[in-house]
Every structure is written in C-alpha cells, then in structure tokens.
Amino acid sequence: MWIFLFLLCVYTLCSADQYRQRAEELMKQTSLIDGHNDLPWQLLLRYNNQLSKVDLNNLNGTHTNIHKLRTGLVGGQFWVAYTPCATQYKDAVRQTLEQIDVIHRMCQEYPETFQFVRSSSEITSAFKNGKVASLIGVEGGHSIDSNMATLRLFYQLGVRYMTLTHSCNTPWADNWLVDTGADPVESNGLSEYGKKIILEMNRLGMIIDLAHTSVKTMNDALQISKAPVIFSHSSAYTLCNNKRNVPDEVLKKVSEKKGIVMVNFYNEYVTCNPAANLSNVADHFDYIKKIAGYQAVGFGGDYDGVTSVPTGLDDVSFYPDLVAELLRRNWTDVEVKAALGENFLRVFKQVELVKSNSPGDDEPIPYEQIQNPCRTGYGYQNQGNTGTSLVLLPAAVTLLYPIHYLLV
C-alpha cells in the first residue's frame, strides 16, 4: 500500500512537472499578452508617481514588479491609465495624462525590461528582443471628458484601447451598474454621440474595450464597430452572476465579431465570493472556449487593481501555473498559444486594418448633455451659461461693437 502511494505521488509530481515545463516552453514561443494591469495606479497611490522613490525591480506590496514579470514570463502588458469616476467633470483629463506620463517614464527608466509599443508589429519585435511589450489602455470613457480631440490626442500619446465606461455613466454611455439597478439608465446603451465615438475609435485604430459597460452598451458597440472588440478584464457571467461579467449571448456575438474576452482574476468576478483558486479561473477559460471558441479567450488578470486574487495566482509570477492547468485540461498547444497572445494580436491587426486616414469627426457633444458648473461653454452658440459674462477684447474693438454682442 505504501509503495503504491509513493508511486502515485511520484507519478503526480512528474505529471505536474511535465505540464509546467510545457507551459514554459509555449510561453517562450508565444508572448503572453495580458490585457489589464493597474501598477500605474499603485504608483500614484503609494508614491504620487515619483519613480525616483521606487525600485520597480523589487517593489514590495504589489502584485507586480520586474522580477515577478520575468518569473511569470509576461511578454506583453497593457498598463492602465486609470482615474476614478470622482474625477469626472473635474480633472479627469489631467489625471489621465499623469498616468499616461508615468507609463512612458517606466519604459524610459527601465529600458532593459520594458519596450513601449504602439502597434501589433512592435509587440512581436519587443518579444523577440526579450522585452515586455508595454502598451497603454485608458480605463473609463470619462477620461476624455466627452471630447473627440482628447480621444485623438490620447491616441497620439500611445493609448491603444479605451474602456468605454468605468463604474459610472458618461454623458454618452451606460456602465455595468445600470444592470444592477444601482445607476440609472441615461443613454440606453450608447447615445448618438457615443456611437460616433465608436466610429472615431475605429478610424484612429484604437481598440474598443467593453469591460465595465452595461449589456445594452455592449450590444450597441458590437453592432456599430467596424473592428473586433475586447473585454480587457472580464469573466463569464454564467459561472459567476456578477454584472461585470459577460453573458452567453454577448460571448457569442464577440465570437462572431472575432473579438476576445480576457479573463479577470478578481475573486468576486471568478466565484462571486471572497475566495477563489486557480482552478476556478481555469473554469472561466474552459467556459468561454466552450461558448465562443478558443479564438475568443485571453488573459486579463487585473493585477494591482483588485483587493483579492485567487489562491495559486497570487501575483503576476504565477501565470505559468495557469497555463499548465489549461494543458492539464487537455487544451492543445494551438489553443494555448492562441489564448496567450495570438488571439489578441489577431484583434489588434484587424483594428489596424480598419484604421483610416479620413478626416475625424469634429462635431461636439450637445452642450446640454455636458453642462455643469466645472465646464465652460466656449465655442457653443446661444448658450446662457459659459462660465464667464464678458469676452475681453481690445478696447478698439469694444468701441465698434454694441455691448450685447460681447455677452456670451
């Protein structure tokens, strides 16, 4: 009996080593591209973005540092430029710019590890160079302050996806809390201006991220977009009935659109409970593969943006263990490599193909949809409150025009 148990243990350990070894081999062949990491947010909270006060090689107290990234064989990472909903109608644009800036500075100060990239081809190049391909995603449409010019400038700064909403409505899109009843329906999905934002993102070559959106917003974007979309950090609703997750009917539409769902590791989105484990996360990979196909799944850990992660996925260094679990569940090499990064690269390339040099949309959002005490109305015609009572012009001009022409 003891001999049998001993041989069983040896066999189990050898099998585990076999899957882990194969996982590492595949990850060295195909870049693991993760859709969502909030390390920049931690840098703001802990150091007010002062990189001079931190060593990213061995940063303590976070899910992410350079040593952990290397151990986890992470080949590509979307670093998130995030600012909370509390900044909406206030300083959201400035806060987002600061987060974009700190991501650029991360890459500049650690060039031996990070390579800032703006295209699918540059991701492949960075992987060949042994660098972590570093991209920027903006989390929450409130970051653009309902302004197309801001969206375009973000793209010029290297932003390659925008999450349409975070946990609040914007003046042009409804967020996931609408589906819980916690927030009111305002745009019934996407407003007319929201639909124009989708098309402008297509024109720019910016990926549309539907994480955090209401189901109606998901469906509107899937219908309107000329390019595939992503969920950068969401899981399967059927396995965990949290409205942040993706229902089956949307999974099927994502598959038809050739998009992907990048699985989130937050316990509350994995099991709908405070506790979860690696196997529970693998269940979501299996389920999305079952409903939408292996071409529709990816990794979106949400590390450093959540308060709890599954046992066995404690930080970014544990990715190979999850890949080994997929292999243990009879995922083929082709399926694993697709989930690691090939699916995302396919989506990104298609987004780039849809990109156009045609003129951008320059029609502003209706003033009544964004009017608030923190916003002026310069440029809008016939508005009663623009934040000032008189346009200051040279004295010679004021003599030529009646005073009522100067009131705005």
**104 tagged catalytic:** no
| Coil vs helix vs strand at 207 | strand
Which entry of 34, 174, 209, 212 is annotated as an active-site residue? 212
Structure tokens given for 288: 């999305």
Which entry of 63, 142, 174, 233 is annotated as an active-site residue? 233
**166 tagged catalytic:** yes
Which entry of 34, 36, 283, 315 is annotated as an active-site residue? 36
Give me the amino acid identity at 37: N
Structure tokens given for 275: 């506790």
**404 tagged catalytic:** no
Structure tokens given for 140: 């929450």
Contacting residues for 283 by C-beta, under 8 A, at least 6 apart = 239
**212 tagged catalytic:** yes
The DSSP 8-state label assigned to residue 51 in this structure reads G
Q: Is 231 exposed, middle or buried (0-12, 13-18, 19+ CB in 10 A)?
A: buried
**63 tagged catalytic:** no
Which entry of 166, 179, 209, 335 is annotated as an active-site residue? 166
CA–CA separation, 204 and 408 (whole Å) = 34
Which entry of 220, 286, 302, 325 is annotated as an active-site residue? 302
Which entry of 139, 315, 321, 342 is annotated as an active-site residue? 139
The alpha-helical segments, DSSP class H, found in 111-247 are 120-128, 148-156, 192-204, 215-224
CA nearest 377: which of 176, 95, 44, 146?
146
Angle at 200 between CA 196 and CA 205, to 5 degrees: 150
CA–CA separation, 284 and 108 (whole Å) = 36
CA nearest 223: which of 179, 259, 264, 175?
259
Is the CB of residue 302 less than 8 Å from the CB of residue 294? no
**284 tagged catalytic:** no
CA nearest 66: which of 127, 113, 28, 115?
113
Query: Which residues are marked as active site?
Result: 36, 38, 139, 166, 212, 233, 302
